[in-house]
Amino acid sequence: MAERGARLLFFFASLIVLRFGGADKGSGIRGFTPFRFSVEPVDTLAVRGLPAVLNCSAASNALVRVEWKKDGTFLNLVADDRKRQLADGSLLISTVVHSKHNKPDEGVYQCVATIDNLGTISSRTARLTVAGTKTKPLRFINCVLSLLYEI
Ligand X SMILES: *[C@@H]1O[C@H](CO)[C@@H](O)[C@H](O)[C@H]1NC(C)=O
Count the neighbouring beta carbons within 10 Å of the beta carbon of residue 16.
10
Report which residue's Cβ sits closest to ligand X: 55
Q: Which is nearer to ligand X, 55 or 64 (CB)?
A: 55
CA 45 to chain centroid, in Å, comes to 18
Q: Give just the sign of the alpha carbon dihedral 41, 123, 59, 104.
A: negative
Smallest separation (angstroms) from ligand X to the CB of 100: 26
Question: Site for ligand X (CB under 6 A): how many residues?
Answer: 4
Shortest Å distance, C-beta 68 to ligand X: 15
Please enumerate in sequence order all residues whose Cβ is within 8 A of that of 132, keeping only pairs 6 or more positions apart, or say none.
Answer: none
Note whether 125 and 108 are within 8 A (CB). yes
Chain residues 20-59 in contact with ligand X, contact rule CB under 6 A: 42, 44, 53, 55
Interface with ligand X includes 125 (CB under 6 A)?
A: no
Q: Contact residues for ligand X (CB under 6 A)?
A: 42, 44, 53, 55
